Structure 1
């Protein structure tokens, strides 16, 4: 099969690799029809995180089940499915409490599982991982495009909103205008936030934030951004979503929080070599909650909202490429020419 492979910083190639096969009775093989490039993929692309050359890339697969192991019960060949970025068993202590990213049997889409930016993947623990799409939507391209973000960024934005404690009628501030931040805006609106302030640096992305429900946008940087947020929220918000991971974003988030408020963070931490200054949290009794999002825990409820038309995160996909276009998709995201790139391996 063909798949995108990492060969070093700035070097993604599409090449022939071994097609994954059923190895355990709990496995399933999925033909990937839709996938995406994630902002977190840019860390190894830029050389800012380690990755072994020659490994497959991608972690947001959606497709059609081709084959299942003899113990798989929840899906069968021909089913349309989507899959979270982390493989989980669905039955261990942590899966049962909704913390699928801490699954004791956790697995990834890389290695011999195919890499999700390719033609096929092997889902270990298929029953605990794969989310079946109702048959009536299996070939509905608009619905599938809206469902794909549930594999990662929409679930991650939702986790940020829940971690921040967003409630109906409250203010929420979202720091970051990438795909996760934009989905955080949509999640805050879904939870009923009355005033939603989106903080970012790109006017085109802030326009999407407004489409998703932001009542105010802030394009300033540093102290000016904080001052603007404090002015809009009359002294800060009780619920702040940190969706970047950079030290500067966390600093903005805590300064935007009202005393006694909560920062929900989901940005992959980077630039924290000097450590996180906790005094701002300490001094104003600001809580910090969050971490890597257990998106499998949220899949069914978000899927229901997408299919009934009350949630549509698809505008985050500002470019679409086939498999051969994946290297250029990385370039577009790296150079901020695209918010998020949708990949259709078979077109």
Structure 2
């Protein structure tokens, strides 16, 4: 089969490798139809996130079941599926308390086990990883749900109450997905920061009430004015920019919550006296990645799938993956979400 092998930082080759066959008892082999590039893939490509080389890159995928192991009862050949970005053990202290995304022995597709930029994919412990796709959602749209949309949905659910004002910094694929999630969860006023034209236009189409360029010197004053000098109830930070992180924190009302989704690109200095004196909170948010959460995300987005589809700005074939990575890294053509056609 053809697969994209990350051999070392910036050494990504499309190669012929052995097709995974003969699934073990708890495994499923899927024929990958679509995959998508995540910011994590860029971090791995650039060597900013360590990986077990060589590894097939990618962790966002949709496809059809090809083979199932003898112990699999939930899936059969031909089923259309999506799945988690990781495989948890189910036995460690974090799995036991319902936080498998913090699993001590987790396997992560495209990092320490082979991932989704390939024609076929082996899924260990498949009944803990895969979810069937409802008939009303196609394979191309479905690939956006387990990672991109669920990451955003989880962040919104952590902090947002119906009618509250939310600030979303960095309207990329996660930030725009957070807009959709905030709408679904009943947000009042939505404020977004972005400087690029294409995501700003998508944000407007999705219903963001106010879009502000983060380079605006008066951005904090503008946000405070939009909230009657009260501050926002919740900030969701999806860029990793220290400047945006500080803005997201400083824009909070007393008692407000900053939900940090993006990994900061460098250490960030914050004046924590405001965290104490004004009871502001900073909460890290990682995609929970369980089949229960994926199924919930599917149910919530199925009537808004046309909105989620808007974040996809570029599509490439597997053989063009290096070009697609360059497009994202250099922001050529103002990309937001890049889809990879496998089949």
Distance verdict in 2 for CA 1:8–1:275, change over 3 Å? farther
- Which of 228, 233, 250 lines up with 1:234 in the alignment? 228
Partner of 1:294: 288
- Which of 200, 206, 211 lines up with 1:212 in the alignment? 206
Partner of 1:4: 4
- Comparing 109-118 with 154-163, greater Cα deviation is found at 109-118
User: Structure 1: any 5+ residue segments left out of the alignment?
Assistant: none
In 2, the alpha carbon distance for the partners of 1:111 and 1:42 equals 12
Deviation at 1:242, TM superposition (A): 1.1
In 2, the alpha carbon distance for the partners of 1:112 and 1:2 equals 19
In 1, the alpha carbon distance for the partners of 2:56 and 2:186 equals 39
Are 1:269 and 2:264 counterparts?
A: yes
In 1, the alpha carbon distance for the partners of 2:56 and 2:13 equals 10
Deviation at 1:277, TM superposition (A): 4.8
Equivalent runs, 1:104-183 vs 2, <5 Å:
104-110=104-110, 113-134=113-134, 136-137=135-136, 143-163=138-158, 165-183=159-177
- Which of 336, 341, 344 lines up with 2:341 in the alignment? 344
Tell me if the contact between 2:51 and 2:112 (Cα under 8 Å) persists in the aligned partners.
no
Are 1:315 and 2:310 counterparts?
A: yes
User: Structure 2: any 5+ residue segments left out of the alignment?
Assistant: none
Partner of 2:19: 19
| Offset from partner CA, 1:134-174 (integer Å, 9 cap, x none) | 3x34xx6xx333322112110111111122x2121111110
In 1, the alpha carbon distance for the partners of 2:26 and 2:9 equals 35
Distance verdict in 2 for CA 1:48–1:280, change over 3 Å? farther
Tell me if the contact between 1:81 and 1:133 (Cα under 8 Å) persists in the aligned partners.
yes
| Offset from partner CA, 1:7-45 (integer Å, 9 cap, x none) | 444432211122234453111111110110111211232
In 2, the alpha carbon distance for the partners of 1:91 and 1:131 equals 21
Tell me if the contact between 1:6 and 1:13 (Cα under 8 Å) persists in the aligned partners.
yes
Are 1:221 and 2:215 counterparts?
A: yes
Tell me if the contact between 1:203 and 1:219 (Cα under 8 Å) persists in the aligned partners.
no
Partner of 1:28: 28
| Offset from partner CA, 1:181-228 (integer Å, 9 cap, x none) | 111111111110010001112121011112222111111327532222
TM-score by length of 1: 0.89
CA RMSD of aligned residues (A): 2.3
Distance verdict in 2 for CA 1:98–1:276, change over 3 Å? farther
Partner of 1:334: 329
In 1, the alpha carbon distance for the partners of 2:101 and 2:50 equals 20
In 1, the alpha carbon distance for the partners of 2:54 and 2:70 equals 31
In 1, the alpha carbon distance for the partners of 2:148 and 2:191 equals 19
Are 1:190 and 2:184 counterparts?
A: yes
In 2, the alpha carbon distance for the partners of 1:34 and 1:67 equals 18
Deviation at 1:269, TM superposition (A): 3.1
Are 1:42 and 2:54 counterparts?
A: no
SS at match of 1:208: helix
In 2, the alpha carbon distance for the partners of 1:220 and 1:188 equals 21
In 1, the alpha carbon distance for the partners of 2:289 and 2:215 equals 30
- Comparing 319-328 with 7-16, greater Cα deviation is found at 7-16
Tell me if the contact between 1:242 and 1:250 (Cα under 8 Å) persists in the aligned partners.
yes
In 1, the alpha carbon distance for the partners of 2:151 and 2:317 equals 25
Distance verdict in 2 for CA 1:224–1:19, change over 3 Å? farther
- How many correspondences in the alignment? 339
